[in-house]
Structure 1
Amino acid sequence: MTASAAWDERHDAPIRQWADLALFHPQDERTHYVISPAPDRGEKHPLRTLFQPGRGSDLIVVLHGAIARDKYELPRFEWLGTLSARTENVLYVADPTLSLASDLQIGWYVGTTEADVIGRVVRLAERVRVTRGLGRVLFMGGSAGGFASLMASSRLPGSRALSFNPQITIDEYYNRFVERFLKVALPEYPDFASARAALPNRLSVLDAYPSTARMLNRALIVQNSGDEFHMENHLGHLARQVSLPADRAVSEDGNLEFDVRYFSDGHSMPYRHVLLRYLDLTLTRWDEERIVKDDDVFPLDEVSTERGSTDESSVDVPIGVSASTVAMTGRDAPTKSTGPLPHAREGQEL
């Protein structure tokens, strides 16, 4: 670690360098860390993370979605304003896959053939858990970050995933973004099918979750029913594989749970107070059969007080913005089906 720290004005935190993830030890203050790549693992870009120490033994690992690169800078620390008042330990992790090209907007924390970013994230989370003397680990994210949270949790036995509107298989997303990702991150493969075959458990949740009985973690997927594209092409595919309805359902073993509710039309996240409610329930009911129960109330009618609100100190934007306000380019058809555009939240910095 460097003897002195530069300052990150955008995230209001000191920046400290670490040469080796295996030796990483976060400090007792909120800090932006830059962890050097490990050439022996094929890594070429640093891993940037912001650690927000808290009370208690829970660790929340937050993974982000896409970002409009022509408008916003890396690194991206998702939901920083939304979670800034949390008392748990929070680890925000930026996807180094986006550093592969200046126009790459979404990377799903895949990395390259040699550099497995999800594996890197899991090692980071485990390192923080051990060095800080923590216990439970929850991976959390939306859309591409939801995909990554499911994939990361599948590799850490005993962990949990809280995933909002996730992609399930990368090539079921929109052509323009998938093709650019493949060209930049996995150029040695002629097509997605070849890459998926060569990289098992890295490009599809279907590979990491072949059945709920084989899961060593537990996961809650919260899906906006107003997002028809993700309902059909993502949650629907996973639901069919594990023989669950694409609705409010839980597997018999309790390992996988779906909660499908209407938030708004398009690829929209729940509003801030609803997202925090899901987080509280996940932590409170960690070992219960169901996280979301039939009598739980989600005050969706209170959204009018949040629409358009921002947290200027954290550069946060309101959760729940409709896909109709999307600022990203690329209104092309998805790989397999048509559907709404990427959500505006994915194209803005949080």
Structure 2
Amino acid sequence: MEKIQIAPADYHLLTEAGWYAVDFGKFELNFYFRPSAAKKAYVISPGFFKRADQPHPYFQRIRMFSELDGIGISMADPSLDLADDIQIGWFLGSRWVDYTKTIAAYLEKLFAHFGIANHDALFFGSSGGGFVSLVLATHIRGAKVLAMNPQTELLRFHDVRELSRVLEAGWLGVSNMSIQRDHAHRFSIAALFDSEQYIPHGIIMVNTYDPWHIEHHIAPMIKGMVNKDIGKPGLQIRFFSSEAAGHNPLPVNHIIPVMLELNGA
């Protein structure tokens, strides 16, 4: 695919399927766009990215769009542009620039341009992409989310080396204590829900054969939801058991029906 460079306000140029790049000044968002006349939107966020196997940017799961009636957007993580060795970045950006807030504002205007109500937009991601999907659906009020085995507490990420690369690239000199004190809402879903006083509508699917994420990510999020007196518009936790999948997402034929359940006709 050939890259098509557009400005943030150039929504009218999104007419054909392809690779688009939006320059926000501080960073660039690359995404694959699939047009549709249907007034629905499906937005996919990426998880771990093996740089040795694929060029960056790489757009994950775009084949899913053939089974979904609505515009399709598969985003590459702009945090990977901060350093050549980052393989998962959670759209964190830097201590100075919150990528997810900028992207959420952009996508909300994109939906409006195509006549799509926020409640007809669904964010999907697995693992790191699940974290990003939860964040974006929180910032775009009314949007839905389907997250599979998501991280929700980034400072508890199991691979310390991968986390360190992201922090060194965008958060150099910021201690974990400072992050927890001043930037918790960017690293913790529970803290984000508390900061925004909002919990999005959606489903979190969790494999019982992924005990690390249950203990270190799902449990803290649930605790945060229970202990905070904020509205709960219907974020469900659904457990499933697949020894073969482990932390990996289920096959597409298991994911599509849940996406349609949340965002179907």
TM-score, normalization by structure 2: 0.90
Name the counterpart of 1:231.
Answer: 214
- Output the CA distance in 2 between the equivalents of 1:25 and 1:114: 30
Q: Which structure 2 segments of 5+ residues have no match? A: none
Conserved? CA contact 1:221–1:258, under 8 Å: yes
Name the counterpart of 2:198.
Answer: 215
Name the counterpart of 2:182.
Answer: 198
AA partner of residue 25 (structure 1)? H
- Output the CA distance in 1 between the equivalents of 2:223 and 2:195: 11
Relative to its length, the structure with more helix (as a share) is 2
Residue pairs, 1:243-254, within 5 angstroms: 243=226, 253-254=232-233
- Output the CA distance in 2 between the equivalents of 1:87 and 1:15: 25
Q: Which of 87, 93, 96 in structure 2 is aligned with 1:111?
A: 93
Conserved? CA contact 1:70–1:103, under 8 Å: no
Residue 124 of structure 1: how far off its partner (Å): 2.4
Q: Which of 166, 187, 191 in structure 1 is aligned with 2:172?
A: 187
Residue 282 of structure 1: how far off its partner (Å): 1.0
- Output the CA distance in 2 between the equivalents of 1:211 and 1:183: 25
Name the counterpart of 2:77.
Answer: 95
TM-score, normalization by structure 1: 0.69
Name the counterpart of 2:134.
Answer: 150
Q: Which structure 1 segments of 5+ residues have no match? A: 1-7, 9-13, 245-250, 286-350
Residue pairs, 1:1-350, within 5 angstroms: 8=1, 14-18=2-6, 20-38=7-25, 43=26, 45-135=27-117, 136-173=120-157, 174-189=159-174, 191-210=175-194, 214-215=197-198, 217-243=200-226, 253-264=232-243, 266-284=246-264
Output the aligned Cα RMSD: 2.2
AA partner of residue 126 (structure 1)? E
SS in 2 for 1:163: strand
Count of matched residue pairs: 259
Residue 34 of structure 1: how far off its partner (Å): 1.2
- Output the CA distance in 2 between the equivalents of 1:201 and 1:243: 17
Distance 1:228 1:81, change over 3 A: same
Distance 1:222 1:144, change over 3 A: same
SS in 1 for 2:21: strand
Identity among equivalent pairs (%): 23
Whichever of the two has the greater Rg, that structure is: 1
Distance 1:48 1:242, change over 3 A: same
Q: Deviations over 1:263-298 (max 9, x none)?
A: 22531211111011111111149xxxxxxxxxxxxx
Residue 253 of structure 1: how far off its partner (Å): 4.3
Conserved? CA contact 1:169–1:205, under 8 Å: yes
